[in-house]
């Protein structure tokens, strides 16, 4: 994960590093991994899991996209979700350069995503703890 964030550089690296800090602060048992590597993205996509995927963090040229596989079932009273709103399961938060993430609202979203995974009884991929 460190290598993936460093490789991005600039505002996208700063954004993903802040997202990572917030996630790990809220959920100490989170499992971090980079998955789905391919020739155009050999370091893969950052993935945070606990009892299933909680959130992924993809970096595009103009956005950092934080996708929640169970987003449609999560409470979002602060309206963080701004992408994928028509989907039946997933929701995403797209962040652009200069935009600030509402840290407390994001922490609450992470807590809700972990709770949804635990309620669903999904097996924890890759064991316990940060990687």
pLDDT at 110: 97
Residue 57 lies in a domain: yes
Number of helices (H), then strands (E), belonging to the chain: the values are 3, 5
What does pLDDT average to in each consecutive run of 10 residues of the chain (131 residues)?
92 96 96 92 93 95 96 95 90 96 97 95 49 40
d(CA 45, CA 20) in angstroms, rounded, equals 13
d(CA 62, CA 71) in angstroms, rounded, equals 22
pLDDT at 85: 87
Residue 127 lies in a domain: no
Burial label, 81 (beta-carbon count in 10 A; 0-12, 13-18, 19+): buried
Q: What CATH number does the domain containing 83 carry? A: 3.90.1150
SS3 81: coil
Residue 48 lies in a domain: yes
Residue 131 lies in a domain: no
* pTM listed for this prediction: 0.88
pLDDT at 123: 53
Residue 126 lies in a domain: no
Residue 124 vs residues 48, 52, 55, 102, 120: alpha-carbon distances, Å: 11, 6, 14, 28, 11
Number of structural domains, the chain? 1
């Amino acid at each position: 994960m460190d290598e993936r964030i460093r490789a991005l550089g600039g505002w996208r690296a700063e954004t993903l590093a802040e997202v990572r800090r917030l996630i790990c602060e809220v959920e100490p048992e989170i499992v971090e991994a980079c998955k789905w590597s391919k020739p155009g993205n050999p370091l893969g996509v950052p993935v945070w899991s606990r009892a299933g995927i909680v959130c992924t963090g993809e970096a595009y040229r103009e956005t950092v996209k934080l996708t929640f596989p169970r987003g449609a079932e999560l409470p979002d009273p602060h309206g963080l979700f701004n992408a994928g709103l028509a989907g039946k399961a997933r929701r995403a938060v797209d962040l652009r350069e200069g935009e600030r993430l509402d840290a407390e609202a994001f922490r609450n979203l992470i807590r809700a995503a972990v709770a949804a995974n635990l309620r669903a009884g999904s097996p924890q991929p890759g064991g316990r703890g940060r990687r």
